Amino acid sequence: MPETHTEPAETLSTDARSGPLLSVVVPVLNEEDNVGPLIAEIRAALEGVCAYEMVFVDDGSTDATAETLAAQRAEEPRLRVLTHSRRCGQSSGLRSGISAARGRLIATLDGDGQNDPADIPALLQAWRADAGTTALMITGHRVNRRDTWTKRRASRFANALRRSLLGDDNPDTGCSLKLFERALFLRFPYFDHMHRFLPALAKREGARVSVVAVNHRARHAGASKYKIFDRLAVGIPDLLGMMWLMRRAPKNLSVIESGIATATEAGPRDGVSDD
């Protein structure tokens, strides 16, 4: 994999006047009853921790999600709202939000309230403690999942299969609660459903991946978009494509600029090597 290097980490007290350190990106679809409480929880979790913004991406909701977000936006200047003209999926929502984000760091979580925003400071602390010259992704591990037995079993099987075929060595890649540098994500090749492979894509770019145990909660409002057989139908082709991407990544590549003591980043562009 290519060696990936970054600038030294900022402290968590980055001044808001120089821009937020952290952008919390939340794709949502038909979550009218969840977005308000979630915004309040993010605010409570990050108040006094660091300069931040919230970027909610409405992926073509047909309920009152857009109106609820507009009302919240009128009262919360740190909230930004992006709207897709049609439903495009979670990966597209993440890409839109991260592309528009102003923070160096990105925290992602689901819009259904099952991820706990109170865990974001722990991810920030893990990043601060381990950040160096190599890019770093912090991923959550839902040690006490509040999902149905069927969903937990399907997720366990999918994680085991991904680990064996992709070598991402991540116990819960499906956990949406993650923290990473915006610049790292923007180097990833984009494809639909890529959000299920972020740890593997990070390792493909030479980044390190660290795991932090996080809370998980039951959904209290709205309907789950999770359909096991729908995910299976697209998951197998996606996994085959990821295997190809991992094999095509340049191995043991670094680029040294003349007169500079440390290596600068060099990774694959758009998932295609130059040979």
Check which CATH number belongs to the domain holding 65 and give it.
3.90.550.10
What is the predicted pLDDT for the residue at 252? Answer: 73
User: In the block, which residue shows the tokens 């040979």?
Assistant: 275
Amino acid 8: pLDDT: 41
Are 85 and 53 contacting, i.e. CB atoms less than 8 angstroms apart?
Answer: no
Domain membership flag for residue 73: yes
Q: How far apart are the first and last CA of the chain?
A: 15
Kindly state whether residue 112 falls inside one of the protein's structural domains. yes
Output phi, psi for 172, to 5 deg: -155, 65
Q: Cβ contacts of residue 240 below 8 Å, gap of 6+?
A: none
Whether residue 107 lies inside any domain: the answer is yes
Residues found in the chain: 275
Supply the pLDDT for residue 5: 46
What is the maximum alpha-carbon separation in the chain? 58
- In this prediction, residue 15 carries a pLDDT of 53
Question: Quick one: tokens of 4?
Answer: 């990936």
Instruction: Round the CA-based radius of gyration of the chain to a whole number and report it.
Output: 18
- Residue 188 in any domain: the answer is yes
Look at residue 201 in the predicted model and tell me its pLDDT: 95
Confidence at residue 55, expressed as pLDDT on a 0 to 100 scale: 98
The answer to whether position 11 is within a domain reads no
* CA-based nearest residue to 146, from 89, 75, 220, 77: 220
Number of domains in the chain: 1
Provide the residue range defining the domain that includes 44.
Answer: 16-248
pLDDT score at 234: 64
What's the average pLDDT block by block, 10 residues per block, for the chain (275 residues)?
46 62 97 97 97 98 97 97 95 97 97 95 95 87 74 70 79 92 96 93 93 88 61 75 87 75 46 41
Beta bridge partners of 57: 27, 82
262: in domain: no
For residue 259, is it within any domain? no
In the DSSP assignment, the letter for residue 270 is T
